[in-house]
Structure formats: C-alpha cells, structure tokens
Structure 1
Amino acid sequence: MAPQQVDTTISPSATGPALALAKQHSADHPLKLYAGWFCPFVQRAWITLQEKEIDYRYIEINPYHKSPEFLALNPRGLIPTLVLPPGEEGKQRVLYESVIVCEYLDEQYNSGTKLLPWDPYERARARLWVNFVEKKLVAGWYRFMQHTPDKPYSLEGVRKEFLENLKTFVREMDEEGEGWFSEGGFGLVDVSFLPWAGRLWLMDHYKEGGVGIPKREEREGLEEGERKVWERWERWYEAVMGRETVRGTWSEREEYIGVYKRYAEDQTGSEVGKATREGRALP
C-alpha cells in the first residue's frame, strides 16, 4: 500500500484537558501558537508557553490541510509555528522548529520557569542532551513505531536500540532533587522528551512485546545497576507527567490511538513519518 498522503480523519480539535486549555487561550492576541493537538512537537512549545506564564492565542490547524494563509506564515508548513508581535515598522515575525521556539520563549520572557540554566556550562550541557533526545530518542521512537514486518531491521532490534538510548539518557539524570533531569529543576531537557515519553504506551498498544520497559514486579531479577536505571526512569516519568503544565496539554487517551495507527502501519503522510520511512533526519 502507498503511504497515506492526507490524514483526513483526525479530530478537528483537542479533547479533555487540552481542549479546556485551548479555549482559555482562544481570544485574539499578538502572540499566536499555530498548533495541532496531537503533535508532540507542538506539545513542547505549548508546555513552554504555560511554564513561562505567557498570554497567547492558541490556533488549531490540521497540518495535513495547510491553508494558503498558514503557508504564507510558514512555507514549510510545519507546526508548531509561533507568530510574534510585529517588529519595527510592523514587520511580521514568525518562528518554527519546536526547540528553537522553546528557547526563544525562555530567553525572551523572564516570567515563570527558567528552562535553560543561567550558567554557561550547564546551559551547554542541557543543549547537548536536548540534541541527544532529538537525534536518538525522538528519531528512535518513530523508527520503533513505524516498524513493519517488511523492514530490513527487526522489531526486537529496534526496541533494544531504543531502550539502550533511553538508559543512556536516564543515567545522566540528577540523582537527587525532585525527579527532573537536572538538579536545577524542571527544564528544557525534560520538555524536549516528555511528549514522546507520554506516548510510549502506544508501543504497548501497537507493537508485539510492547515498549519493553520492565514493570516494577519484573525488576527484582535485574542486576542492581539496571534496576536503579528503571527506578530512576519511573521517578522522572511520574514527576514530569504529574506537572500541572504538562497535564493540561493532553487530550483524551483514545484520541491518540487513531492518529498513531497510521504511524504503526507506516502509512502516515506526515513529514516526520516520511523522513523516518526514507531513513532521513527528522525535519
């Protein structure tokens, strides 16, 4: 079967907590977030806006039906797209690429949570691990989700690769504190991966053998180092998923099942899906 070129059955709006939050930010405002409720890249930017306690307008679009007006703002047609208040002489200003959007908001606004550390070394280290998330964990997540029996790599192989990269990430987490990646508190490294961490249950739904993270009762037989890694993972997961700014950006769980069925069958027409299918870097 040829990949689906246009995903036509996606719900036109968020549901649950995300719908309530979108409605709270539906009034006109010079700072606008063009978003898709189902998109983890959007979720990064949305969480950042909430963490920074910034007022904005949330505008839901279907990126598979890109209007001429939206493409005039962002010819690449990617979400999130952030429209800024006009610059000098009314010049329109637009940003996209989720990590860039998050960094801009963190640097531009002093309110709310500081997501990147002030210290130059700690800030560089955070960016290093955001880069690891992007290249290894996010790319690996899609490669895992889009595995089908006709792939030249095995499901077990891609699962093992993803889990090894996940363990590398976890081993770099601060051992003390409240559970965040860095001792300085909730930050951009956490934001960068949590949307995909919160979608790992979809591997259990769609992939034989599931994601492969050992449950509590399965950890007793593991060697001590391995067991501590998964205990630390669980502490981080519970901390980030329990954060109010994160909980408010989720739609009802069942809505994600239909969206990611296309990925699980490797039939999605999204740019990320196409890049994964063709072995290219994510856009």
Structure 2
Amino acid sequence: MEEKEVKLFGMWASDFALRVEWALELKGIEYEYVNEDLPFNQSEELLRLNSVTKKIPVLVHNGKPLAESLVIIEYIDDTWKEGYSIMPKDPYDRAQARFWAKFAEDKCITTTLGVFTSEGEAQKKVVQEAREAFKTLKQAITGKEHFGGDSIGYLDLAIGLFAFLMPVFEEIVGVSIVDDANAPLLKAWFARFLDVDLIKTSLPPRDKMYELCKERQQQFISGQIKF
C-alpha cells in the first residue's frame, strides 16, 4: 500500500510517541515527524486533530487522524500488512497481548508514576504496589526471548518504555522497582530490548531525559502539572 501522507505528532521525550515510532520503523514506513512543545504549548494543528484528549501521539494517514499509541500500533499493523508482523497471528495470542498491555497501562505505568510523583510514606506504599505489579507482569515473558517470542512485537512496544525510563526514574527517586532480586526476567529483558539496533538508535539522550524527568517530577509534586 502506498502511503500518500503519514505524519506523526509526538514529542522527543514521549515514551508513548516512541512506541509509534518503533512500529513505523519496524514496518519500514516513511513518515514526517512533528515535534510538539509539551506539556504547555500544544500546536493549533494538534488541538484540531485531537480535540478529545489534546494529547500526543497522533498519527495522520491520508489526512485522517488517529490518537492513542496502542490503537495506532494496531492500525499500522492492520494497514501495512506486508513485511514485519507486530501483532500475533493467532487470535488467542493477540487477545493475550492486549490483556497484558492493558495490565501494564493500568498497574505498572500507574504505580510507577505514583512512585515518581509521591514522597514519604505515600511513596513507600506505592513502591510495594509497583514491585508487585512487575512481578505479575513477568508471567508474560517467562520462557521467551521477548514478549513477542523470538522477536519484538506488540507487547514489547507497549512495555518497552520501561526498559529505558525505569532506570532513570529509579535514579531520580532513589528506590529500586525492577531489579535482579525482584524481577530478574524483566531486568534481563530490559537489556535485550535496548540492545536491538532499531531501539537503541531511536532513544533520546539519557542525560537530557534525566534532566527533563527531574523537572517534571518537581512539577508533579508541586501540582503544576497533573496526570
């Protein structure tokens, strides 16, 4: 299928936009990238294309906008069927991938952000919740090289943001969530995922990400920005 127009609205430090970039790169799709100045200065075009949530990422294909990173990834795989397959072929495996992606969104991401944006006793409580969530998530990769099996797939893209950002978050807050004692399978997968050429060449500079995350943490704690 010839793409007349593929445009991705993202932000250089957005883990959710990065999911979509990975999907486009895996499929070999040429696209234009529009870097938004977030969180306070969304462009008029972004607000027009995603008037519902006003958030990135937004994929525009042939003039039609689509929001929400995991929805976009499935659309990409369904639209460009040739070549690399992101979603599992088997219906049961696809359903399982969606289940674990939702679990990661609801439990792992939520609790990790809770650790990142809290202090004192409140933080101690959510640290334990985050560790338990990642212990549960390891079930999805037991006996596999990647969540997608021998190669990275939908669930790897959905969860891949942790591999890069978790060590940054842990360094900033001074606590360990995913380590060799708590979740060794996930810790090992972090290293394998980040060693994939397509992944490691697309990551933002760690020092720049660290500074931004540190700034965002203070903005969350002070109430300047909210989830």
Q: TM-score, normalised by structure 2?
A: 0.88
User: Which residue does the alignment assign to 1:249?
Assistant: 202
Contact 2:169 2:213 (8 Å CA) reproduced: no
1:164 aligns with 2:140: no
- Indicate yes or no: 2:227 matched with 1:262: no
Give the deviation of 1:107 after TM superposition: 1.0
AA partner of residue 70 (structure 1): L
- Pick one of 7, 12, 16 that aligns with 1:37: 12
Residue in structure 2 matched with residue 180 of structure 1 by the alignment:
146
Equivalence for 1:115: 86
Counterpart pick for 2:47 among 60, 71, 80: 71
Instruction: Kindly provide the amino acid, as one letter, of the partner of residue 80 in structure 2.
Output: Y
Q: Tell me how far apart the structure 2 counterparts of residues 112 and 253 of structure 1 sit (CA, whole Å).
A: 31
RCO higher in structure (CA 8 A, sep ≥6): 1
Root-mean-square deviation (CA, aligned residues, Å) is: 2.0
Unmatched segments (≥5 aa) in structure 1: 1-28, 86-91, 220-225, 276-283
Deviation at 1:104, TM superposition (A): 0.5
Note the alpha carbon deviations across 1:7-41, whole angstroms, 9 max, x for none. xxxxxxxxxxxxxxxxxxxxxx7100011010111
Kindly state the Cα deviation for residue 207 of structure 1 after the two structures are TM-superposed: 1.2
Contact 2:134 2:178 in 1 (8 A): no
Structure 2 residue aligned with 1:237, among 183, 190, 194? Answer: 190
In the TM superposition, residue 158 of structure 1 has moved relative to its aligned partner by 1.2
Q: Equivalent pairs: percent with the same residue? A: 23
After superposition, the Cα gap between the structure-2 partners of 1:235 and 1:111, relative to the gap in structure 1 and judged at 3 Å, is farther
Whichever of the two has the greater Rg, that structure is 1
Match of 2:60 in 1: 83
Distance 1:115 1:240 in 2: 15
Number of the residue aligned with 1:125: 96
Cα contact 2:6–2:32 (8 A) shared by 1: yes
In structure 2, give the amino acid aligned to 1:58.
Y
Residue 20 of structure 1 aligns with which residue?
none
2:123 counterpart (149, 155, 158): 155
SS in 2 for 1:59: strand
Residue 185 of structure 1 and its aligned partner are, at CA, apart by: 3.1
Letter in 1 for 2:119: T
SS of aligned partner of 1:154: helix
Does residue 102 (structure 1) correspond to residue 73 (structure 2)? The answer is yes
Q: Which residue of 1 aligns with 2:176?
A: 211
| Cα separation, 2, equivalents of 1:240 and 1:213 | 15
- Aligned partners of 2:78 and 2:135: how far apart in 1? 30
TM-score by length of 1: 0.72
Structure 2 stretches of 5 or more lacking a match?
none
- Residues in 1 aligned to 2:66 and 2:114: alpha-carbon distance in whole angstroms: 27
Counterpart residue identity of residue 57, structure 2: P
| CA distance in structure 1 between the aligned counterparts of 2:223 and 2:67, rounded to whole angstroms | 22
Higher helix share: 2
Amino acid at match of 1:253: R
What code does the residue aligned with 1:65 have? Answer: N
The answer to whether the aligner puts 1:196 opposite 2:162 as a matched pair is yes
